[in-house]
Amino acid sequence: MPSAAKRWIWLGCGALLVAFVAYAIFELLLVAVVSSAVASLVTLVVFRYLERRSQPGPPDKPTPREALLSMLNGLLGLNIHLREQAPPRQVIERVESLIDKLRGLLEDLNQRHPDHELTWTVNQMARRYLPKVVKPYLALSRGDRESTRDELLRSLDGLEAELDNVAELVRGDKMGDFKAKAAFLRARFVQGM
């Protein structure tokens, strides 16, 4: 039996009990009816209040620190997956170099410019673009990996060059160039994912 039905049964029993007690004490039918109606309404209001209080609310939005840790954990997971798949050493070194650059850049950007479009774009590059480029390559057979390795390395070179440019903007605190760089990176790496 659902809990709501049980509540209504208890509500009815409580109201009848109150009515019976009132009738026995005052021997007036009107008093019994009024008191049972009031008792029912009070019980209904209390149950509704308790029911709303016990329902979970919407999930809390993660704090900026939690979001950053989630991204860093995603990069760590990608690095572990990369090592488990044992691609050529050149690929491992390039991806790990990108992960190291992203790690430093993500922390700096998210602390100094948390609401900036460039921060969002670099976050997306770490969350989506790098895994989207690396994971399909790792899923290939060894022979297919050899034939597509140069293409992967070119993609990673482009990403690394842009991350170096962003790091230079951040170090130089060139806020005027942030918006233009964010638009460029979004068009090149983030849109269409």
The predicted-structure confidence for 129-168, as pLDDT tens digits, reads as follows 889 888 988 888 888 888 888 898 988 888 888 888 878 8
Domain ranges (residues) in the chain: 3-54, 64-190
* H or E element, residue 140: none
Query: Quick check: 88 and 147 in contact, CB under 8 A?
Result: no
The predicted-structure confidence for 29-43, as pLDDT tens digits, reads as follows 555 566 777 777 788
| CA 74 centroid distance within chain | 12
The C-alpha atoms of residue 36 and residue 10 are separated, in whole angstroms, by: 13
Angle between helices 117-124 and 175-185 (to 10 degrees): 40
pLDDT surpasses 80 at 83? yes
Burial 101-136 (b: 16+ CB within 10 A, else e): bbbebbebbbeebeebebbbbbbbbbbebbbebbee
Query: Quick check: 59 and 125 in contact, CB under 8 A?
Result: no
CA angle 100, 102, 105 (to 5 degrees): 110
Of residues 129 and 26, more confidence is placed in: 129
Q: Is the pTM here over 0.75, yes or no?
A: no
The C-alpha atoms of residue 98 and residue 163 are separated, in whole angstroms, by: 8
